[in-house]
Chain A
Amino acid sequence: MTDHNSSTDLTPRGGGDGRLPARFTDPGHAPHKLRRADVDPDANKRAERQVVLLFGVSILGTIGFLVAYALVRPGETIGSMRLSNLLLGLGLFLGMFGIGAAAVHWAKTLMNDHEVSQERHTLISSPETRAAAVQDLKDGAADSSIGRRGVLKGAMVSALALAPLSIAVPLIGEVGEDWDISKFGRTIWAKGVRLAQDPSGRPIRAAEVTIGSAFHVIPDNLEEFEHPLDEKAKAIVLMVRMDPRDLKEAPGREGWSYEGIVAYSKVCTHVGCPVALYEQQTHHLLCPCHQSTFDLADGAKVVFGPANRPLPQLPISVDDEGYLVAQSDFLEPVGPSYWERLK
């Protein structure tokens, strides 16, 4: 249908001649259609039998559930666990679904299906009720004489406003441990702490790190701390060795690597996932959570994704016995940014 008619005259054409109304009128309820079970006694009987059958399915399902419960244990293998789950679940399914299907089938085939119409009433209260309600409130306020007693009103509001503090102050005071957020900026890495393999905790010798390999690293003093997981969450490091010729080192960081071995924080500077996927060919490190990609050959600079800052580098060297050790803690906070990061 085209619409080259550019008139926006909204009065219907021909509507004003007195013969035809401007709009159609509601023809009223559509005629009721009878169902088969309403007219055919056989169909009616059949529907009843189907409802009974569906309730029967439910009963059998529940019995099946109980039998499976008694006979099949989850056991020690995935297979036995799945079998137990499957049998119990199917029993539960039939037990529940049978009841539901029976009830709905009953309602649809056998219950009266004549549509009924009820009046709606507007929700608004009548003007008299409203006036009476307002008057009630006025009377109540007058009885309490709150309007005339300003000091009393002030005292009541102050007391009510202050009372919740006895809940809120200890809650807020205690819930955040010591509130020392400067801990975000420190890890347990320190001068001389050996780089150890995650999760075994075995210290790593520089000699065993071949070119192209990547190590997941933790500090070897991790287990000395009260809450190792909390410390580990900040201290995890990814260490790789590449051909020293591939390595571009920023001015001031020349002494932070050891013969092509570099160590970077494994906590993503985006929102903190462990950056764990290392691609040997490109020296790229990918965070599997949000795909921030860091170039380990070039100071762990961001080459793609939502992270903004390079991963902090851990300065490393080798101790007398040939083990890799940290020169110090990270020189900047690891992990995601926060308001006071540079303070």
Chain B
Amino acid sequence: MTTTIERGAAAGADYLDQRTGIGAAVKSFARKVFPDHWSFLLGEVALYSFVVLLISGVFLTLFFVPSMAEIHYEGPWAAMQGVEMSEAYASTLRLSFEVRGGLLMRQVHHWAALIFMASIVTHMMRVFFTGAFRKPRELNWLVGFVLMILGLAAGFSGYSLPDDVLSGNGLRITDGVVRAIPIIGSYLSYFIFGGEFPGQDLIPRLFTVHVLLVPALILALIVVHLLMVVIHKHTQYPGSGRTDQNVVGFPLFPVYVAKAGGFFFIVFGVIALMAATMQINPVWNYGPFDPSIVSAGAQPDWYMLFLEGSLRLMPGAGTEWVIGGYTLSLNVLIPAVVIPGILFSLLALYPFVEAFVTRDTGEHHVLDRPRNRPFRTAFGVAVLTAFFVLLVAGANDLIAAHFYMSLNDLTRIFRVLFFVAPVVAFILTKRICLSLQRKDRELVLHGHETGRIVRFAHGEYIEVHRPLDEHERWLRVAYEPEHPLEIAPPVDSRGVRRKGYRLDKVRQRMSQAFFEDRIEPVTPAELAAAHSHGAHDELEGGSHVASPRELEGSAPGGGRTIAEPADGSTPDARNR
């Protein structure tokens, strides 16, 4: 028996299918399986905060006036009565004071932008540390990387629109950085500002960039990004039953329609809560842009802070060179162009570097546990540490003020830290990864500690260890560590020099750096050997009072009988 609704739906579906063939798409998508893990939500947060940005942004464009024409303010905000300001700034005040819900939408928009960038960065970290960028997803990593750069551009162009003192000084710094670019810098500055800073054109131009160019590019690349996810099918975390040939999870309809669809509303709700309770960018306090005013303790949005810190750390003395009468400002170029360029290039190109080193051509759909790739994890943490030092240095004046420290000393400390901290972070992270792998080995070989102490007849005490079940164990042994590459000798058997030897030599050197230190997973033989160490198995049943069911499979281990890793776990350069 069919209801009216079902009949209507069937008729509608029939109409559509005859004209679009949508049935085939529904058939292949509706029950498509996606794996489940909280870290997969990070990319979703980015997507949903972008949707929130579009919704709140459209609202704002209806009231914002992108014009630098000077007017005298005559609105309700008493502190600005009669003050000369641009129409852009005046309309931002109007949005805050006169449009009901306008301030809410402004704050929703700004918070959503901060969360958009934060979720992109953490999503990239997830992809990086789990090796999700490996074949076949290298291109999608690049698409994601470009999306992050576009996110920076969107944030920066939007932040500058209200034409207040803070954003105006941000633009002035931009002008200074652009001018430092050799040969074309001065003309580039004219290109951006339509003449000299601040000019009359910048706000309308930034508006077009912010509401049309950048969002259109982001939207197009998001489509590509998601299409590639569908084509590749989502990666999955390692675990029993999960292989490179399958995808284990829940069907799109209904589970992810409800979970992911619902999650959009959760993200929107949380951003709304932040906008309701946490004030952001109160431009009515800053005042309209005036090129002679600057406020101490001013900070850009967090995703630009690393640039600010980088500019602050660079020592100025002796770093401006005059070559043939032309001025080269290394004190601006190095921190604002070269260092971010290096850090971002490292990020963008890492998948290709790793593929070059491993010579790996297989498809990977099961993610790595970060500990099982110590070099990659340590490298990622080192790059992040460099970013983080720059980011904190961008707030050195606030740190100095809050903690009564010398600003100059802080700057000098950060200068040293920028070089030292990534190295320390690399070494520490690598050691932590290796230790976690050893911990995994120990768990697999000796099982969980149970806290049950047993005394044997001859007076010996041991703690009973409970072996891992096969699923727990599989998680810890199911990885293949990479080994340093062996390469063919430089000359063949007849003494003729081999083509491509140099490249191979580079590859081998890098491979050694990547994979020299490694821990092999436990093999069945090692596990068997570890169990036979005990030799108390038959004693155990009678020697203590726990119920027989609990004892089943229990193996003694612990203090006395920890087995050595049989092989391969020893970082050793001597025998390669």
Q: Cβ of B268: which chain A residues have Cβ within 8 Å of it?
A: 92, 96-97, 100
**Nearest-CB residue, chain A, relative to B96:** A81
List A44-71 residues whose CB lies under 8 Å from chain B. Answer: 69
Residue pair A123, B294 in contact (C-beta under 8 Å): no
Residue pair A271, B173 in contact (C-beta under 8 Å): yes
Query: Known: A28-B240, A100-B263, A232-B291. Is A291-B397 also a contact (CB below 8 A)?
Result: yes
Residue pair B185, A30 in contact (C-beta under 8 Å): no
Q: Cβ of A74: which chain B residues have Cβ within 8 Å of it?
A: 96-100, 102-103
Query: What CA separation (Å) do A343 and B325 show in the bound complex?
Result: 6
Of A130-138, A141-149, A245-253, A305-313, the one touching chain B: A305-313
Query: Known: A103-B259, A117-B33. Is A306-B186 also a contact (CB below 8 A)?
Result: no
Q: B-side interface residues toward A, CB under 8 Å?
A: 31-33, 70, 76-78, 96-104, 107-108, 136, 169, 172-173, 175-177, 179-187, 189-191, 194-200, 231-233, 239-241, 243-251, 254-255, 258-259, 261-270, 272-273, 275-277, 279, 284, 289-298, 308, 311-320, 322, 325-329, 331-332, 335, 363, 365, 396-397, 407-408, 411, 438, 441-442, 470-471, 473-474, 477-478, 483, 520-526, 528-529, 562, 564-572, 574-576
Cβ-based interface call for A170 (8 A): no
Partner of A273, one of B270, B290, B294: B294
Q: Can you list 27 A-B contacts (CB < 8 A)? A: A1-B564, A3-B564, A3-B565, A10-B568, A13-B525, A15-B524, A21-B524, A23-B523, A85-B107, A86-B276, A93-B276, A97-B270, A100-B265, A103-B261, A103-B262, A107-B259, A107-B262, A177-B194, A184-B196, A233-B197, A271-B173, A272-B172, A291-B312, A291-B411, A302-B316, A306-B312, A337-B329
Q: Cβ of A90: which chain B residues have Cβ within 8 Å of it?
A: 273, 276
Q: Cβ of B263: which chain A residues have Cβ within 8 Å of it?
A: 100, 104
Cβ-based interface call for A191 (8 A): no
Cβ-based interface call for A335 (8 A): yes
Q: Cβ of A274: which chain B residues have Cβ within 8 Å of it?
A: 169, 291-294
Query: What CA separation (Å) do A341 and B183 show in the bound complex?
Result: 11
**Chain B nearest Cβ from A312, distance in angstroms:** 14
**Chain A nearest Cβ from B539, distance in angstroms:** 24
Residue pair B182, A339 in contact (C-beta under 8 Å): yes
Interface string of A241-277 (1 = CB under 8 A from B): 0000000000000000000000000101011111011
Residue pair A26, B442 in contact (C-beta under 8 Å): no
Residue pair A104, B259 in contact (C-beta under 8 Å): yes
Partner of B570, one of A3, A11, A118, A308: A3
Query: Known: A272-B173, A306-B331, A337-B329. Is A8-B576 also a contact (CB below 8 A)?
Result: yes
Q: Cβ of A76: which chain B residues have Cβ within 8 Å of it?
A: 76-78, 97
Residue pair A123, B259 in contact (C-beta under 8 Å): no
Residue pair B326, A340 in contact (C-beta under 8 Å): yes
Interface string of A80-109 (1 = CB under 8 A from B): 011011101110111111111111101110
Partner of B258, one of A104, A118, A172, A305: A104
Q: Cβ of B182: which chain A residues have Cβ within 8 Å of it?
A: 339
Residue pair B335, A89 in contact (C-beta under 8 Å): no
Residue pair B332, A24 in contact (C-beta under 8 Å): no
Q: Cβ of A266: which chain B residues have Cβ within 8 Å of it?
A: 292
Cβ-based interface call for A9 (8 A): yes
Query: What CA separation (Å) do A340 and B323 show in the bound complex?
Result: 11
**Chain A nearest Cβ from B98, distance in angstroms:** 7
Cβ-based interface call for A125 (8 A): no
Q: Cβ of B258: which chain A residues have Cβ within 8 Å of it?
A: 103-104, 106-107, 111
Residue pair B471, A27 in contact (C-beta under 8 Å): yes
Residue pair A8, B241 in contact (C-beta under 8 Å): no
